[in-house]
């Protein structure tokens, strides 16, 4: 997409982190913006900020994108107000640290619905709209570097992010096969100073059970502390909005800004080609050697 002015963008997870930066960039390009977030109070700050930066118009919608009916409401409101959808940015997401075999199943359901099914929900509604418009459109899904590499510590997060990348890749093939003028993309960053370590603040009531001893366990609090550390020591967030929008301008599919993960990506891709069993000790040794080389 080369010309953004006056075109319509739906941006989820818009109140914080990457989503907030995406809103800023859409506003600077003169877009009409539908900003969506589960945190309604924080979302109210987005409208005035976007208008001041140059947005043509802004609509704020408080919604839980892990519920299909909520995504229907977002899409319906967008079409009723603006009559078109040109850019979809599936950005809303959570992080749940912890061992996959110990994590409560409600947490698996929560991360699957938020980080994967929200992409499915929006794309199945928005793609037909984009096709019918007959104009060039874009979809950019935030998927994380955890969608292209694997490591120990956050099994549900790696699992769902891999699924989100696969969803985008296979959908991209489908769009090409049907001749749709829609460019897909996946944004796969490493650790960045977003609000991802505050995911518990966004936990919907349907996924909450304070009587479950897991949420008072050492494992739970250790995982929360680890998430806080890697996010707070991550890269500054303010450069990625412009980077992603430049990728959208060029219809780039893979937006992987952190080259320090390329070594792991090459090793794990090679393991598949060689039919080799993944080995945590070999991977840890490679990471240690890379750190020492710095």
Q: What is the pLDDT of residues 108-119, one digit of tens each?
A: 999 999 999 999
∠ at Cα 267 (273, 97), nearest 5°? 115
pLDDT for the residue numbered 46:
97
Q: For residues 198-236, b (16+ Cβ closer than 10 Å) or e, as one string?
A: bbeebbeeebeeeeeeebeeeebeebbeebeebbeebee
Residue linked to tokens 């959808």: 85
As a whole number, mean pLDDT of residues 192-201 equals 92
Token couple for 271: 């393991």
Name residues whose C-beta falls within 8 Å of residue 198's C-beta, 6 or more positions apart in sequence.
16
How far is the first Cα of the chain from the last one, in angstroms, to the nearest whole number?
A: 38
pLDDT for the residue numbered 293:
66
DSSP strand pairing (137-142 vs 182-187): parallel
Cα-atom radius of gyration of the chain, to the nearest Å?
A: 19
Residue 294 has pLDDT above 60, yes or no: no
| Residue 173 annotated in active site | no
Q: What is the spatial distance between Cα 141 and Cα 147, in angstroms, rounded to a whole number?
A: 11
Question: Catalytic residue among 16, 82, 121, 157, which?
Answer: 157
- Rounded alpha-carbon distances, angstroms, from residue 92 to 12, 66, 116, 117, 276: 5, 9, 10, 11, 35
pLDDT for the residue numbered 136:
97
Q: What is the pLDDT of residues 92-143, one digit of tens each?
A: 999 998 888 889 999 999 999 999 999 999 999 999 999 999 999 999 999 9
Q: What is the pLDDT of residues 249-273, one digit of tens each?
A: 999 999 999 999 999 999 999 999 9
Domains assigned to the chain: 8-257 (3.40.50.720), 260-294 (no CATH)
């Amino acid at each position: 997409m080369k010309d953004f002015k006056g075109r319509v963008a739906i941006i989820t997870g818009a109140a914080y982190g990457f989503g907030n930066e995406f809103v800023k960039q859409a506003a600077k390009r003169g877009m009409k913006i539908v900003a969506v977030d589960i945190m309604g109070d924080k979302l109210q700050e987005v409208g005035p900020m976007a208008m001041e930066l140059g947005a043509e118009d802004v609509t704020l919608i408080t919604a839980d994108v892990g519920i299909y009916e909520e995504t229907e409401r977002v899409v319906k409101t967008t079409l009723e107000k603006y009559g078109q959808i040109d850019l979809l940015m599936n950005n809303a997401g959570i992080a749940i640290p912890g061992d996959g075999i110990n994590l409560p199943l409600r947490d698996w359901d929560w991360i699957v619905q938020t980080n994967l099914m929200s992409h499915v929900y929006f794309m199945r509604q928005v793609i037909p709209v984009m096709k019918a418009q007959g104009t060039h459109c874009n979809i950019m899904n935030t998927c994380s570097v955890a969608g292209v590499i694997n490591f120990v510590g956050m099994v549900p997060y790696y699992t769902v992010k891999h699924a989100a990348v696969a969803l985008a890749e296979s959908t991209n093939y489908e769009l090409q096969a049907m001749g749709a003028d829609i460019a897909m993309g996946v944004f796969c960053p490493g650790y960045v100073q977003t609000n991802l370590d505050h995911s518990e603040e966004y936990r919907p009531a349907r996924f909450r059970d304070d009587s479950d001893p897991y949420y008072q366990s050492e494992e739970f609090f250790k995982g929360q502390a680890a998430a806080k550390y890697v996010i707070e020591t991550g890269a500054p967030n303010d450069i990625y909005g412009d980077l992603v929008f430049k990728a959208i301008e060029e219809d780039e599919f893979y937006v992987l800004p952190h080259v320090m993960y390329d070594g792991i990506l090459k090793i794990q891709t090679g393991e598949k080609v060689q039919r080799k069993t993944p080995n945590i000790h070999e991977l840890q040794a490679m990471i240690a050697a890379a750190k020492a080389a710095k």
